[in-house]
Copies of this chain bind each other. A is one copy, B any other.
Amino acid sequence: MASFFPAALENLIDSFASLPGIGRKSAQRLAFHILSLSDEDAEHFADTIREAKKKIHTCPVCQNLTDGELCPICSSPNRDRNTICVVSEPRDVLSIERSREYRGLYHVLHGALSPMNHIGPDDLRIRELLQRAAGEDVEEIILATNPDTEGDATAMYIARLLRPFGMKVTRLGFGVPVGSNLEYADDATMLKALEGRREM
């Protein structure tokens, strides 16, 4: 197959095909789209990749991605510095910020414990979290890793490490999604919802 397309095009297709969730066929479609762009637009696309790699680094405090010295949240004066919400990925910060409910700080682990994928504690930003727990005046740490096996395992592991520090350690509440239909709630979610039931 490779021989049917010129090398430069094959390389571009390979680049796209190397991305997660992009199959060979999609990669072809994307490559053809790039060729259909104006030189300026294609150049811009390539530049955004360069720029992002050059400018983006992790915030030394919360490990979230930033292009500044500190991330906007860590450097913001009107965030509650006594609460740290621990998430697996930078995009999780986005989801929680969207709720407009949380005013504290974050800590991004950049992954979750996963023995099958050989991801251990040292591959996550857990050491940095413990340093914050020891150093800063933290009253509560909310473990907001995903409600799946790896996320739960990571939360439990971190909770155990944090116990000596004596601050309040909580896990995000799980249950039936708001606006959803009970009929479609899976067993595990329903179980969590029952466990997490509140008096009213």
Contacts and interface: CB of A to CB of B under 8 A. Distances in A.
Interface of A: 1, 3-9, 11-12, 14-15, 18-22, 26, 28-35, 37, 39, 42-56, 65-68, 71-72, 89-91, 93-94, 97-98
A187 B94 CA distance: 47
Nearest to A8: B55
A52 B9 contact: yes
A191 B14 CA distance: 39
Nearest to A55: B8
A94 B4 contact: yes
A50 B46 contact: yes
Contacts of A4: 72, 93-94, 97
A14 B97 contact: no
Contact of A9 (B29, B37, B56): B56
Given A20-B29, A89-B32, A6 B50 contact: no
